[in-house]
Amino acid sequence: MTTQSIITPTLNAPPHEFDAIIIGAGFSGLYQLHKLRDELGLNVRVLEKGAGIGGTWFWNRYPGARCDSESYYYCYSFNKEIEQAWSWSERYPEHTEIRKYLNFVSDRLDLKRDIQLDTEVKSAAFNEASTMWKVETVGGETFLTRFLITAVGCLSAANVPKFEGLENFKGDWYHTGNWPPEGVDFAGKRVGQIGTGSTGIQLAPVLAGRSQHLTIFQRTANYSIPARNRSVTPEEVDLTRKNYDDVWRRARSGTNGHPFTMSSLSAIAVTDAERRAIYQKAWERGGLRFRASFKDILADNKANETASDFIREKIAEIVKNPELLEKLTPRDHGFATKRPPIDSGYFETFNRDNVSLIDLKAEPIVQVTEKGIRTTKQEYELDIIVFATGFDAFTGPLLRLNLTGSHGYALKEAWAAGPRTYLGLQTPKFPNLFTITGPGSPSVLCNMPIAIEQHVDWITTCIRDMRAQGLTRIEAEPEAAEQWVEQVNAAANATLLPMASSSWYLGANVPGKPRVFMPYAGGFARYTDICNDITKSNYRGFARS
């Protein structure tokens, strides 16, 4: 069994004072706590909204939830003992196993004594005179801290569309990103699932097997590659343990923080037969690596079309009903220009008798009624509605912290036209505030633990250097942030990524959100070099005092 935090809130006490407060106890918050506390000797507290650690994986417990990165590299690389002591059971880790892993790491490093659970941050404000942040919680506690570090993840603010009448629905409804820990019983129920992104594509085959009837409401048809999940053998575990140095070296030297390399071939420079053979092999191997089959899948429309065509053909081989096939065939965007899902029997699900597909482009949702969902064509009676409708990604988790920087300047104001950061790490006028995997960093375009470790290491070095030099304040310079935003835009525009009009990378999934491409698409290795250069230049672009 794992141990939980022993910290209990102390109301009506004088504010607690810390060197650093970290918001969030997922992969990033846990590692940041370890680095600041155990390496720099700082007095640190982690504030976590959930009743347990795990971050994204604490909340995303929907049936079928597992990571799309492979388990042997969806983990920390910073500690040899942990790396050698832990074994994953499946090719892709399920949410339960990821929580077990994070608890294992926390117990090994004795992290929980500095983590305060069930503590939601209500607001935080910077005080110019004291150079301290004041953090207030929903529960009424106050904390003072020199450094404030947000470790809230990119996908932690659930996006529940504002459908008229949801409050009148007599059945139960859930969002996948806020799943009840006790689970949901679908037996004998008529279930409606809205959304066919990575989450919906993982969820649908499981719901179809557990419910009486599943109705899937699809707005945009999606591509998906078979995951080909399976158990990991003890021999594979041994081999990976022996090769870990090489795994991490490859992961850090590539574009996406995965330990596989991008092919050096162009999809349009090979013969049709060669191309087909390469795609077929990648299809059989399964997983996100399909993207790396050719170097130009995300850079050239023609190359991209070859991948999109191949997957469309595969969907046609699987889906038996021609009408359903037509609805399920993605045509409005190229493969991987939106985050590409991987699946375990998604398209096969539509061959089942108890599954129907509603094309929301042909019949949009008008309202939720007492009995179910009404589209422009008819009412669908349901007992349970599951929203697999994604997240207010990148900025949502940060804006809801109600952060106020220098002289009362609110983050909402600073980011009114979209996020403006320097390296994704800092925002001008928000001194001593660091964001782990913030907008403007590679984040979700990467294998997340690798992206997180790079950010945490950079922040730790930065704070260590400040303390060594007797400095107490660091703030991104506005010109540096402007130039960085231009670099983020240029990196995105060198790819096909901004072309998918419904992509959450652009904020397009949330009505009213500014359309800005948010992650840095210039590659993980290149980004790391830029950050390291800035450290070496004595923090170019940051004002420190």
The site for ligand NA7 (CB under 6 A) is made up of 155, 161, 194-200, 219-220, 339, 360, 388-391, 444, 502, 504, 509
Closest to ligand NA7 by CB, 116 vs 304, is 304
Closest to ligand NA7 by CB, 112 vs 338, is 338
Closest to ligand NA7 by CB, 49 vs 513, is 513
- Tally helices (H) and strands (E) across the chain: 14, 20
Closest to ligand NA7 by CB, 424 vs 428, is 424
Closest to ligand NA7 by CB, 157 vs 476, is 157
Closest to ligand NA7 by CB, 267 vs 365, is 365
Give dist(CA 228, CA 344) in Å, integer.
Answer: 7
Closest to ligand NA7 by CB, 397 vs 405, is 397
Closest approach of ligand NA7 to the CB of residue 341, in Å = 7
CB count in 10 Å sphere of residue 499? 16
Closest approach of ligand NA7 to the CB of residue 92, in Å = 12
CB 436 within 8 A of CB 455: yes
Helix, coil or strand: residue 240 = helix
Q: For the chain, what percentages of helix, strand and coil (3-state, to nearest 5) are there?
A: 35, 20, 45
Please give the residue whose beta carbon sits closest to ligand NA7 in the complex. Answer: 197
Closest approach of ligand NA7 to the CB of residue 471, in Å = 37
Closest to ligand NA7 by CB, 161 vs 514, is 161
Closest to 136 measured CA to CA, from 153, 154, 124: 124
Question: Which residues, listed in sequence order, are joined to residue 23 by a DSSP beta bridge?
Answer: 47, 150
In the block, residue with structure tokens 């071939």:
265
Cβ burial 401-438 (10 Å sphere, 16+ → b, else e) = bebbbeeebbbeebbeebbbbbbbbbbbbbbbbbbbbb
Closest to ligand NA7 by CB, 444 vs 491, is 444
Closest approach of ligand NA7 to the CB of residue 228, in Å = 18
Closest approach of ligand NA7 to the CB of residue 81, in Å = 30
Closest to 521 measured CA to CA, from 493, 492, 543: 492
Give dist(CA 237, CA 253) in Å, integer.
Answer: 23
Closest approach of ligand NA7 to the CB of residue 254, in Å = 18
Q: What is the largest CA-CA distance in the chain?
A: 73
Closest approach of ligand NA7 to the CB of residue 509, in Å = 4
Cα(first)–Cα(last) distance of the chain, in Å? 46
**Residue by residue, what is the 3-state secondary structure of 277-311?**
HHHHHHHHHCCHHHHHHCCCCCCCHHHHHHHHHHH
Provide φ and ψ at 69, rounded to 5°: -80, 150
Closest approach of ligand NA7 to the CB of residue 58, in Å = 14
Closest to ligand NA7 by CB, 88 vs 391, is 391
Handedness of CA 215, 500, 389, 201 (dihedral sign): positive
Closest to ligand NA7 by CB, 195 vs 522, is 195
Give dist(CA 437, CA 84) in Å, integer.
Answer: 26
Closest approach of ligand NA7 to the CB of residue 335, in Å = 14
Question: Which residues, listed in sequence order, are joined to residue 426 by a DSSP beta bridge?
Answer: 422
Closest approach of ligand NA7 to the CB of residue 71, in Å = 16
Closest approach of ligand NA7 to the CB of residue 135, in Å = 28
H or E segment to which residue 433 belongs: strand 433-435
How distant is the alpha carbon of residue 144 from its chain centre? 29
H or E segment to which residue 248 belongs: helix 234-253
